[in-house]
Amino acid sequence: MNVGIIGSGGREHAICFSIKNSKKVNKIYCIPGNAGTSKIAENINIDLNNFNAVKDLVLSKKIELVIIGPEKPLVDGIVDFFQDLNVKVFGPNKLASQLEGSKIFTKKLCEKYKIPTAKFGIFNNSNDSKKFLEKSTFPIVIKADGLASGKGVYICENKKESFIAVDEIFNGKFGLAKNLLIEEHLSGEEMSYFIITDGKTIKNFETAQDHKRVLEGDKGKNTGGMGAYSPSRLLNLNLEKKIKEKIINPTIKGLNDMNIDYKGFLYAGLMIKNNEPYLIEYNVRMGDPECQTILPKLKTDLIDILISCCDKKLDEVEIKWSEKKSMCIVLCSKGYPEKYKKNILIENLERINNDNDNLCFHAGTTLINNEVYANGGRVLNFVALSENFFTARNKILDNLKNLSWQNGFFRKDIGFKVIDK
């Protein structure tokens, strides 16, 4: 079959890499893709906001399976748009995608089904937000409602920082925000927990720990993710049982009660404290960079899994994983997550060690005259698999030395909680 992958980041390159050797795949189209996907798939540059143009391409190229990578097309309803065509589309529909598209929708679901999460308040203007903050204790968390590419969350240590957060959100830093959430600050350690579901069967899809802050030691501003490792050091049988019973199962039940049919990946961002899970947020797709960290460990044909999910036959597939440890370190453009230069040549890519246990997934890259240029904040994702995390990280750091890109930076301490403790 011909397969179309929607998106242009490291997650989509990892998906391309994962399915390229499937016996069921004839040709892969990446829409729009990046410099890395061009080595595996045919990149086609189409505006993803133009669903009619995407549909025309899918029909003209006889694409039978469309895999949606990023959140925005899902939240905008691309799955619903394709529902009358004889094409399988992997990902949740528009109603189900509210779990990520509206933090308020998710919080109200948590409230109704007693899913453990932070206490919260919803505010629709700056004045009321600041009045509440005047009487609050810190630290406190402020979130823009809606999509913000992983960057619309502020952990504020004092009133001044909280007022800045409110002003930035309501002044449109993350797009039009009609509401914001103010939440209690949960202490503990974060974990990314993934499942895949066809609406009736739920299967685990590994765990990871992301590193959101831009600076080493988890300092500085939030980013889309500076690196990850898998599996999470926090997971144990007792904790996983609690995650399923207290968070995942009630969520799917709540959606079913609303006649919302959820099909796709579901990514629960969790805070773990004293072996108890609390939901921070949901994402309705694989995480980035967690996807790049997790998929290289997958032993089952990803195409078989996705088709079974689309056909509501997920119970017929056994998902198998490598026992190896996996790590990803993200190479970013200098200045990220704020302003950075674009169209900077990346040299020495031929020096990178690429084999089954050493991988480089492209994110913010583009081809100009057959040379690779950086055109995004997060540029390259270096992944290594090994028997332990220490060796995996050293393999990545060696590869980054081989590249020696002067216009980029990265965190050298990814995985410090599992390696250094």
Q: For residue range 362-396, what is the model confidence (pLDDT) as tens digits?
A: 999 999 999 999 999 999 999 999 999 999 999 99
Architecture of 325-419 per CATH? Alpha-Beta Complex (3.90)
Express each pLDDT in 69-126 by its tens digit: 999 999 999 999 998 888 999 999 999 999 999 888 999 999 999 999 999 999 999 9
> How would you list the strands of the sheet with 140-144, edge to edge?
120-123, 180-184, 140-144, 153-156
- pLDDT classification of 172: cutoffs 50, 70, 90: confident
Residue 29 has pLDDT above 90, yes or no: yes
323-345 average pLDDT score:
96
Looking at residue 150, what is its pLDDT? Answer: 58
What CA–CA distance (Å, rounded) separates 9 from 60?
Answer: 24
Looking at residue 178, what is its pLDDT? Answer: 83
Looking at residue 84, what is its pLDDT? Answer: 85
Looking at residue 145, what is its pLDDT? Answer: 85
Give the Cβ contact number of residue 55 at 10 Å.
16
Residue 421 has pLDDT above 70, yes or no: no
Residue type, 282: Y
**pLDDT exceeding 70 applies to what percent of the chain?**
99
300 CB-near residues (< 8 Å, 6+ apart): 317, 318, 319, 320
Instruction: For domain 189-316, give its CATH number from 3.40.50.10490, 3.40.50.970, 3.20.20.10, 3.30.470.20.
Output: 3.30.470.20
Look at the alpha carbons of 65, 67, 73, 74 in this order and tell me if their dihedral is positive or negative.
positive
What is the Cβ-side half-sphere exposure of residue 8, based on CA atoms within 13 angstroms? 22
Looking at residue 420, what is its pLDDT? Answer: 77
Q: Average per-residue pLDDT in the chain? A: 95
CA dihedral 201, 63, 376, 326 (to 10 degrees): 40
Express each pLDDT in 229-243 by its tens digit: 999 999 999 999 999
Which region among 177-186, 297-306, 335-344 has the lowest average model confidence (pLDDT)?
Answer: 177-186
175-199 average pLDDT score:
91
Question: Structural domain boundaries of the chain?
Answer: 2-90, 125-178, 189-316, 325-419
334-352 average pLDDT score:
94
Cβ(303)–Cβ(24) under 8 Å?
yes
Instruction: For domain 2-90, give its CATH number from 3.40.50.11610, 3.40.640.10, 3.40.50.20, 3.90.650.10.
Output: 3.40.50.20
Express each pLDDT in 247-304 by its tens digit: 999 999 999 999 999 999 999 999 999 999 999 999 999 999 999 999 999 999 999 9
Could you tell me where the beta strands, DSSP code E, fall in 274-370? 276-283, 325-333, 344-345, 358-362, 365-368
Express each pLDDT in 124-154 by its tens digit: 999 999 999 998 989 999 998 877 655 678 8
Looking at residue 151, what is its pLDDT? Answer: 63
Looking at residue 302, what is its pLDDT? Answer: 98
Instruction: For domain 125-178, give its CATH number from 3.20.20.140, 3.40.50.150, 3.30.1490.20, 1.10.3720.10.
Output: 3.30.1490.20
